[in-house]
Every structure is written in structure tokens, then in C-alpha cells.
């Protein structure tokens, strides 16, 4: 039986339809992916990382512009958007840390492993931060107490995220691989009844500025 289309301006899927086509609105994805593998930026994750952050920022903007706590649509939006928002921000952090590790380990002064390891397999912020922080200390040690304090504050934020979502799947799936509720073993998350996504976006912007400064510092020490 043919059901009525609730969105009359959007045609139903038809035989022969394709999801990916080229036209005047096409995104130059080929150039973007090739850029990620040129020169010293081998397996460079910045383009991907930045895209996830921008997408998270855009969802927070939509969330804020349609804010009306007393309305049912707003309540539904809270459920619909909060999970992708947090997932996108977490994915950004994971990729930017991997990006900086890849760049930092090519700086001559670092005593970094030159063989393949588990960088591309791990999702653990704990592991990634330990590796990144060693590089940061070697390449650009803090020059003032303020710099040292900022780095500790950044570490604390990363570890806060790690405590809530250690493997990057809590905000992707409602259940774990063992078919248990995603938040079952997340005591920190269960105690947090509400999430201020605007505050989260603001702190992510601060983290983004920090990591951009680190990236510029690492690149400055790289042998071009």
C-alpha cells in the first residue's frame, strides 16, 4: 500500500536514485582527501577533525536558535541532538590529538617511535594524551607558569571526556557491544542530569584554539 508523503516537496526514493552525485553544489572531496596525504602531513587528520568540530558547532547553533524549553519540539530536540553533538566533539578531539602526534613524531628533536603502532587503532584519550603530552614537552616546553597551568586544564578536560566516554562509543550507540545500556557503568554521566551544550561548545572552542597553537608550534619545528 502506498503511504502518503508527509514532505510533499521531497520526492520519494525511486528506482535508479543515487546518494552521491556531482553538480554545482558538489564538495571538492577529492582535493580534501589528497591534502591529507601530502608532504609532511602524511595521514594528516586536521581536515577531518576540523569538519567534525564545525558540524558540532552548527548543531549547537541550531539547538540554541530553536530554544523554547516549554515546547515539546524542544524537548525532542534535546534527545535528538545532544548525542551527535557530543560524539562530533569527541571525534574532533581524538583526531586532533592523533594529528598532532603524527606531526610531532616527525620533528627531529623528539625521541618518538618510527615504527607502526596502535595509534590508528586506539580511541583512548588516556593513551593519546600521554603520547601527545610527551611530544609537547619535548618540542615546546612551557615557558611560564600560566602555560603550564593551561596545559593542565586542557588535560583535565580531556580526561573528563575520557571518564564519560573512554572508547568513543557511548554517544554513537544506545547500548554497548554486550547489549548493555551505554551509561550503565558511567557513574559521572548518571550524576549529570542535564548538559549545557552552549557551555560545551564554548569550552570546545577554547580547546580548539589551544590545539591550533600547538599545531603551529609543531609545524614550525618540522624540517620542511
Rounded Cα distance between 26 and 202, Å, is 31
Query: What pLDDT, on the 0 to 100 scale, is given for residue 9?
Result: 83
Cell of 14: 525511486
The pTM of this model reads 0.82
pLDDT band for position 33 (cuts 50, 70, 90): low
Q: What SS3 string covers the chain? A: CCCCCCCCCCCCCCCCCCCCCCCCCCCCHHHHHHHCCCCCCCCCCHHHHHHHHHHHHHHHHHHHHCCCCCCHHHHHHHHHHHHHHHHHHHHHHHHHHHHHHHHHCCCCCCCCCCCCCCCCCCCCHHHHHHHHHHHHHHHCCCCCHHHHHHHHHHHHHHHHHHHHCCCCCCCCCCECCCCCECCCCCHHHHHCCCCCHHHHHHHHHHHHHHHHHHHHHHHHCCCC
pLDDT band for position 1 (cuts 50, 70, 90): very low
The pLDDT > 70 percentage for the chain reads 71
Mean pLDDT of the residues in the chain = 81
Give the residue, 45 or 6, on which the prediction is more confident.
Answer: 45
Instruction: Quick: pLDDT tens for 34-50.
Output: 544 444 444 468 889 99
95 close to 211: Cβ distance less than 8 angstroms: no
Amino acid at each position: 500500500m502506498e503511504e502518503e508523503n508527509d514532505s510533499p516537496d521531497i520526492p520519494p526514493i525511486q528506482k535508479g536514485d543515487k546518494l552521491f552525485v556531482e553538480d554545482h553544489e558538489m564538495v571538492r572531496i577529492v582535493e580534501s582527501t589528497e591534502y591529507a596525504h601530502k608532504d609532511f602531513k602524511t595521514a594528516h587528520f586536521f581536515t577531518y577533525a576540523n569538519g567534525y568540530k564545525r558540524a558540532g558547532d552548527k548543531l549547537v547553533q541550531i539547538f540554541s536558535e530553536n530554544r523554547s524549553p516549554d515546547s515539546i519540539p524542544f524537548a525532542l530536540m534535546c534527545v535528538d541532538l545532544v548525542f551527535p553533538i557530543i560524539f562530533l566533539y569527541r571525534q574532533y578531539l581524538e583526531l586532533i590529538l592523533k594529528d598532532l602526534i603524527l606531526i610531532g613524531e616527525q620533528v627531529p628533536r623528539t625521541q618518538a617511535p618510527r615504527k607502526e603502532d596502535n595509534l590508528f587503532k586506539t580511541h583512548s584519550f588516556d593513551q593519546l594524551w600521554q603520547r601527545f603530552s610527551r611530544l609537547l614537552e619535548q618540542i615546546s616546553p612551557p615557558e611560564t607558569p600560566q602555560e603550564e597551568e593551561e596545559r593542565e586544564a586542557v588535560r583535565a578536560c580531556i580526561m573528563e571526556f575520557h571518564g564519560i566516554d573512554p572508547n568513543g562509543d557511548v554517544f554513537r550507540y544506545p547500548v554497548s557491544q554486550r547489549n548493555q545500556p551505554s551509561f550503565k557503568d558511567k557513574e559521572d554521566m548518571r550524576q549529570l542530569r542535564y548538559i549545557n551544550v552552549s557551555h560545551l561548545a564554548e569550552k570546545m572552542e577554547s580547546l580548539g584554539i589551544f590545539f591550533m597553537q600547538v599545531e603551529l608550534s609543531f609545524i614550525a619545528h618540522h624540517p620542511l
